[in-house]
Structure formats: structure tokens, C-alpha cells
């Protein structure tokens, strides 16, 4: 499985999703608890972007839990380590680099590590989207499922969407990839913006 997939990703890929997420987080009363799932999380740039957004929108020590999953054990290990080449951080402002990353020195020069403040908000786990054995008990407020459904045929996409619908709260937000369109599943999700859906 590890060999079959592409892992291309970046920090704050599709910036408009993070702007919408920040507004959504700020729109609820202070102290609201958030449960978020980022699947197909690849090497971690996407889940770290989500928790940076949460810390900026909600302040320090938010009631915010992110489950970050992928099918590929190698990319999950990279994500959990949270260590990146400095050139991979170029999508981040200098302020974000300073606030959320520790720059390596001496033999670690050229590398940066995500601070514990980010890592303690994330649980990394292995989930295969096309298997019916997802380990979740509590429903999610927000789901990121971006740039992975393009690899599935239409019936598989529909089955995965039905399962995502089942693990989300009504009114929850689903973010999908720029080339993904689920308008034929409007019985499950209502389009709310460019590649942003609301769970019905
Ligand atoms: C192109 S990357 C997308 C990364 C990130 N979501 C983004 O948009 O930047 C696709 C990811 O989907 C994962 N993937 C592929 N098939 C999967 C499956 N059946 N279940 C879970 N993850 C899968 C791959 O391992 C890879 O990390």
C-alpha cells in the first residue's frame, strides 16, 4: 500500500480552507470543545496547519483534539516526528515559523521541529478509508478529506462519504480537495463554499 499512493502535501495548502476553519472556530462561544479529523494526512503538514489555525483562533490550551490518520505507516511516522526541512516551511510566515517550530542547530541545521504545543493536540493513527473498521466512537465537528478521493472510483467515493457522514455531527464542516466534487451526494452534504461542505 505504501508504494501505491502519492504523498504530495504542503503547509496551508489551499489557504482558503484555513481561513474558513478559523472563522468557524471563532464563531462558537469560548470554551467550546472541538473534535476534528484529518484523514489522508500524509507527512503531517496538513494536520500541523490545522492545529496552528486552532491555536491562533482559540488561544493557548484550547479544548481541541485532532485525529490525524493515513493508510501509509511511513508518512504517519514522519508526521508524528514533526521534523521538516526548512525549505518545506516556506509556506509559513516568519511569525508562524518562530512561534510553532524549533530550528535545529549544529548537526540538525537546516531542519525544524514542531513544538510540543502543536503535537499535544494531535493523535496520529492508521485508518484505511476504504475499510469499514474505523475506530471512532465520538462524532467529529470538522473533517478534512483532501486529495485522496480522486484515487477512488465513484461507488467507493460514495461509500466513504456515507461513512464520513456517519462519524460527523449534523452541521459539521467537511473540507475536500480542489479537484473533488461531491454534488451528487447532496443528500449527505450541502455545498457551503468552494470545496467546503456542511454535513446534513
Ligand atoms: C496526495 S496525499 C494528500 C495529502 C493531504 N491530504 C493534502 O491534501 O495535502 C494522499 C494521501 O492519501 C493517503 N491514502 C491513499 N489511499 C488511502 C486510503 N485508502 N486510506 C487512507 N489514506 C489513503 C496516501 O497515503 C497519501 O498520504
For residue 101, the enclosing domain spans 84-125
Ligand 1 centroid to residue 99 C-alpha, Å: 28
| Burial call 48-78: b when 16+ CB within 10 Å, e when fewer | bbbbbbbbbbbeeebebbbbbbbbbeebbeb
CB atoms within 10 A of CB 2: 11
72 lines ligand 1 (CB under 6 A): yes
Is the pLDDT confidence value at 3 over 90?
no
Strands, sheet with 64-70, edge to edge from the N-terminal-most edge strand: 122-126, 64-70, 34-39, 140-145, 168-176, 196-199, 189-193
71 lines ligand 1 (CB under 6 A): yes
- Any domain includes 2: no
73 lines ligand 1 (CB under 6 A): no
Mean pLDDT across 124-150? 97
- Any domain includes 94: yes
What is the pLDDT at residue 129? 98
- Any domain includes 17: no
Q: pLDDT-based confidence at 138, cuts 50/70/90?
A: very high
Residue with the smallest CA separation from ligand 1 atom 27 is: 42
Structural contact between residues 97 and 112, judged by C-beta atoms closer than 8 angstroms: yes
**If you average pLDDT over every residue of the chain, what do you get?**
96
Q: pLDDT-based confidence at 4, cuts 50/70/90?
A: low
What is the pLDDT at residue 131? 97
Q: How many domains does the chain have?
A: 1
- Any domain includes 46: no
- Any domain includes 188: no
13 lines ligand 1 (CB under 6 A): yes
Which secondary-structure segment (H or E) carries 67? strand 64-70
190 lines ligand 1 (CB under 6 A): no
- Any domain includes 44: no
Ligand 1 centroid to residue 47 C-alpha, Å: 12
- Any domain includes 139: no
- Any domain includes 159: no
Amino acid at each position: 500500500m505504501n508504494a501505491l499512493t502519492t504523498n504530495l502535501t504542503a503547509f496551508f495548502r489551499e489557504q482558503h480552507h484555513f481561513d474558513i476553519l478559523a472563522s468557524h472556530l471563532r464563531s462558537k462561544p469560548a470554551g467550546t470543545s472541538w473534535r476534528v479529523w484529518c484523514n489522508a494526512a500524509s507527512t503531517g503538514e496538513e494536520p500541523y496547519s490545522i492545529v496552528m489555525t486552532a491555536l491562533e483562533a482559540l488561544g493557548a490550551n484550547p479544548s481541541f483534539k485532532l485525529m490525524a490518520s493515513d493508510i501509509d505507516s511511513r508518512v504517519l511516522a514522519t508526521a508524528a516526528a514533526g521534523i521538516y526541512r526548512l525549505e518545506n516551511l516556506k509556506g509559513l510566515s516568519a511569525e508562524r515559523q518562530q512561534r510553532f517550530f524549533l530550528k535545529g542547530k549544529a548537526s540538525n541545521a537546516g531542519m525544524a521541529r514542531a513544538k510540543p504545543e502543536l503535537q499535544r493536540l494531535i493523535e496520529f493513527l492508521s485508518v484505511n478509508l476504504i475499510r469499514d473498521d474505523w475506530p471512532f466512537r465520538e462524532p467529529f465537528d470538522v473533517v478534512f478529506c483532501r486529495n485522496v478521493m480522486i484515487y477512488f472510483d465513484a461507488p467507493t467515493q460514495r461509500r466513504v462519504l456515507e461513512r464520513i457522514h456517519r462519524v460527523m455531527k449534523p452541521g459539521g464542516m467537511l473540507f475536500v480537495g480542489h479537484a473533488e466534487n461531491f454534488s451528487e451526494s447532496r443528500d449527505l452534504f450541502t455545498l457551503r463554499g468552494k470545496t467546503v461542505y456542511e454535513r446534513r
